[in-house]
């Protein structure tokens, strides 16, 4: 998916249609300095088995706008991508997901738009900074206990209890490892997605 100038806006992956079965749309946000391809790869290995339509936007800058100056150009881009995908595919619901800064952005957008988003998958997030909160999307968080980029003690071990206190249904997985997404964590996230209403 490109803009009028030919610049990459996002990558999309759609499993083969299965009768009239609608897709679960998962918008996947890459980490700081990452790419749309890295975002797509977060759940690409499980997309067919779980009938996930994946859209991986490319941030306008090196990371997402919220990290720098608040919601702006990236939100507008994502809105446009969603319009395009909804016009072209049968969609049952929307999940936001991401890794590292992308996970923080997914949480922030997801909690802000919880009346529109069914769930949020946050692999190794640093924080959540919603402008306001709406609805109660379910949340999956994973974090490596040896993460040196976003240490678990100051990130997910503080964030997850805060989300619980705010009434969110949070599934939390810590794993032995660093700033990464092991295959078993990806599989756990995909299985969790199947439990969403």
Burial class (CB in 10 A: 0-12, 13-18, 19+), 115: exposed
For the entire predicted model, the pTM comes to 0.94
What does DSSP assign to residue 2?
B
In this structure, which topology does domain 10-194 adopt according to CATH?
Rossmann fold (3.40.50)
- Token pair listed for 108: 């922030």
Per-domain residue ranges for the chain?
10-194
- For position 65, what pLDDT does the model report? 82
Q: What percent of the chain has pLDDT over 90?
A: 84
According to the model, what pLDDT value does residue 119 have? 98
**Which residue would you say has higher pLDDT here, 9 or 138?**
138
* pLDDT digit string, tens, across residues 39-80: 999 999 999 999 999 999 999 888 888 766 667 889 999 999
């Amino acid at each position: 998916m490109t803009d009028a100038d030919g610049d990459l806006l996002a990558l999309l992956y759609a499993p083969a249609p299965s009768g009239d079965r609608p897709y679960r749309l998962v918008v996947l946000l890459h980490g700081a300095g990452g790419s749309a391809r890295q975002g797509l790869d977060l759940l690409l290995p499980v997309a067919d088995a779980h009938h996930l339509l994946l859209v991986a936007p490319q941030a306008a800058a090196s990371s997402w706008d919220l990290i720098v100056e608040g919601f702006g150009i990236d939100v507008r881009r994502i809105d446009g991508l969603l319009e395009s995908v909804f016009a072209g595919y049968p969609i049952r619901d929307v999940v936001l997901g991401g890794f590292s800064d992308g996970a923080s952005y997914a949480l922030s957008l997801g909690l802000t738009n919880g009346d529109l988003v069914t769930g949020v998958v946050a692999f190794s997030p640093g924080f959540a900074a919603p402008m306001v909160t709406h609805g109660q999307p379910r949340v999956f968080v994973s974090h490596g206990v040896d993460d040196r980029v976003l240490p678990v003690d100051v990130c997910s071990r503080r964030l997850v209890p805060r989300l619980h206190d705010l009434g969110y249904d949070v599934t939390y997985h810590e794993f032995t490892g660093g700033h990464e997404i092991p295959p078993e964590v990806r599989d756990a996230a995909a299985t969790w997605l199947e439990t969403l209403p």
